């Protein structure tokens, strides 16, 4: 009878330890999933915000946003997303263009929907674009706009503001 008691106690301890270990492992996995999803969702929102301005950028605002996007994707993104963000950074550095931002936004959207166990959406993201110069806004479908948003260099921004002021004075 003593042997049965020892076996029962040992099995209870092993069962408790195994249950505790598996519970901690599941909690760690869930925390990692939540952190990754949260950072990628914030990055997705930041990219959409950047993408929504169609004409003139505040270069400091864009710079801060791009730093967040780059660091978040390099820490939490997939290999494909890292390649896309590096390509986007090179494009911005070379000519100030944000034309490659759509592929990154779409990839992030697809990855987040997969993480959240939601169905895949075909096609590009629908955006609300703001024209800061003319004060207009429009809802467009990706791939149907005639002009790609771009990041103007500081001199271009000054000229655009000067043109706007000249137009308002008349």
CB 54 within 8 A of CB 129: yes
Best CA proximity match to 138, nearest among 149, 129, 125: 129
Give, for 127, the enclosing helix (H) or strand (E): strand 126-131
Residue 45 has pLDDT above 60, yes or no: yes
CA distances from 162 to 48, 53, 120, 151, 165 (A): 28, 19, 45, 17, 5
- Which pTM does this prediction carry? 0.63
Domain segments of the chain: what residues? 28-169
Backbone phi, psi, residue 167, to 5°:
-65, -40
pLDDT digits (tens, 9 = 90+) for 13-39: 999 999 999 999 999 999 998 998 999
Give, for 141, the enclosing helix (H) or strand (E): strand 136-141
pLDDT digits (tens, 9 = 90+) for 117-159: 888 888 777 666 655 555 555 545 444 444 444 444 445 555 6
């Amino acid at each position: 009878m003593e042997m049965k008691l020892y076996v029962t106690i040992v099995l209870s301890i092993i069962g408790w330890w195994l249950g505790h270990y598996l519970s901690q492992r599941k909690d760690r996995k869930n925390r990692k999933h939540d952190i990754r999803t949260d950072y990628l969702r914030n990055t997705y929102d930041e990219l959409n915000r950047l993408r929504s301005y169609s004409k003139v950028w505040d270069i400091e605002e864009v710079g801060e946003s791009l730093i967040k996007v780059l660091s978040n994707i390099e820490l939490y993104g997939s290999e494909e997303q890292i390649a896309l963000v590096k390509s986007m950074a090179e494009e911005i550095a070379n000519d100030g263009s944000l034309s490659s931002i759509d592929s990154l936004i779409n990839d992030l959207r697809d990855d987040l929907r997969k993480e959240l166990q939601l169905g895949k959406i075909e096609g590009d993201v629908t955006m609300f674009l703001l024209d800061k110069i003319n004060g207009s806004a429009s809802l467009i479908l990706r791939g149907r706009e005639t002009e790609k948003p771009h990041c103007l260099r500081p001199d271009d921004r000054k000229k655009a503001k000067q043109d706007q002021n000249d137009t308002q004075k008349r």
